Amino acid sequence: MSEKLEPLVRLEHVRFAYGERPILRDISLTIPRGKVVAIMGGSGCGKTTLLRLISGQEKASAGRVTVDGLEVASLGREALYALRRKMGLLFQFGALFTDMSVYDNVAFPLREHTDLPPELIDDLVLMKLHAVGLRGAARLMPAELSGGMARRVALARTIALDPMLLMYDEPFTGLDPISLGVIGQLIRRLNNALGASSVIVTHDIQESLQIVDYIYFISEGQVVAEGTPDEIRNSTDPFVHQFVHAEADGPVPFHYPAPDYAASLLGGGR
């Protein structure tokens, strides 16, 4: 199989734990080239940990994580940093530098990782801001932006280096319906324009069904369901049905594992 047909990202039987607390028990999934893939599941199921493993911030305790044919855990410092320069990460809530203007936030990765002249950096920054509809806001400070505008600036910064892999950590959190729709469509359009691959960690099932090519559902450290948007909409799987319809009762429990409540009240444990 040619390199172009190989998935950009591949996780094979990955396990990971924070100390004695297992997070990922046996995860296998792929991110095809040019596609947008969503990773969903309840809070604390390991979605953001997957992004950290893909970007090399954490190392799996078992299994393999490969990006563009490279095994991430085996890379040395320089090779890992070179790979990361081909990635873009949109942090939850944007994480803009509050003491820098919109322009300087977007220019930051270009100044840090390239030797481009200021004139070319200027053209690129305005191009990225124009792509997210905020070229006119270049001189504003983050405190002057709405939540949706700040997320769009963060998106412009994420694509500053034209990455091959875009990762989004809860990009829709805290947005009003209009801003949410704008960000969703930008994610889809920018992925297509850049020819990149995108991974979206999100709880927003309805918006994701509009823009992604494939969805993985994670629970208790494993992939419990997967499929295309049409397959997910029509699924009779109890986990998928509970998640899509936001039902309180189902395979995903409301309570975190704990000793028997009556026994705890009587002094039998906490």
Q: Does residue 137 fall inside a structural domain?
A: no
Q: Does residue 106 fall inside a structural domain?
A: no
Cα–Cα distance list, 205 to 63, 159, 241 (Å): 29, 24, 11
pLDDT for residue 103: 95
Q: Does residue 169 fall inside a structural domain?
A: yes
- H helical segments located in the chain: 47-54, 77-84, 102-113, 118-131, 147-158, 177-194, 205-211, 229-233, 238-244, 261-265
257: CATH: 3.40.50.300
pLDDT for residue 234: 84
Cβ 160 vs Cβ 193: under 8 Å: no
Q: Which two tokens stand for residue 94?
A: 């944007």
Task: Provide the domain count of the chain.
Answer: 1
User: What is the mean predicted confidence (pLDDT) over 209-220?
Assistant: 89
User: What is the mean predicted confidence (pLDDT) over 245-258?
Assistant: 62
Q: Does residue 27 fall inside a structural domain?
A: yes
The answer to whether residue 200 scores a pLDDT higher than 50 is yes
**Nearest Cα to Cα of residue 88 among 158, 189, 169, 161:** 158
The answer to whether residue 193 scores a pLDDT higher than 50 is yes
pLDDT for residue 71: 93
The per-residue pLDDT of the chain, averaged, comes to 85
The whole domain housing 62 covers 1-86+164-178+195-270
Q: At 2, is the pLDDT very low, low, confident or very high (cuts 50, 70, 90)?
A: very low
Provide the sign of the torsion angle of the four alpha carbons 41, 46, 51, 54, taken in this order.
negative
What confidence tens digit (pLDDT) does each residue in 134-157 have? 999 999 999 999 888 888 899 899
Q: Does residue 173 fall inside a structural domain?
A: yes
User: What is the mean predicted confidence (pLDDT) over 193-205?
Assistant: 88
Residue holding tokens 């806001």? 137
Q: Does residue 135 fall inside a structural domain?
A: no
pTM of the predicted protein model: 0.81
The answer to whether residue 250 scores a pLDDT higher than 80 is no
Q: Which two tokens stand for residue 261?
A: 């409540």
pLDDT for residue 28: 93
pLDDT for residue 42: 75
Q: Does residue 258 fall inside a structural domain?
A: yes
Burial group, residue 76, by CB count within 10 angstroms (0-12, 13-18, 19+):
exposed
Q: At 174, is the pLDDT very low, low, confident or very high (cuts 50, 70, 90)?
A: confident
pLDDT for residue 1: 41
Cβ 126 vs Cβ 104: under 8 Å: no
Distance (Å, rounded) from C-alpha 256 to C-alpha 5? 41
Q: Does residue 50 fall inside a structural domain?
A: yes
Cβ 67 vs Cβ 8: under 8 Å: yes
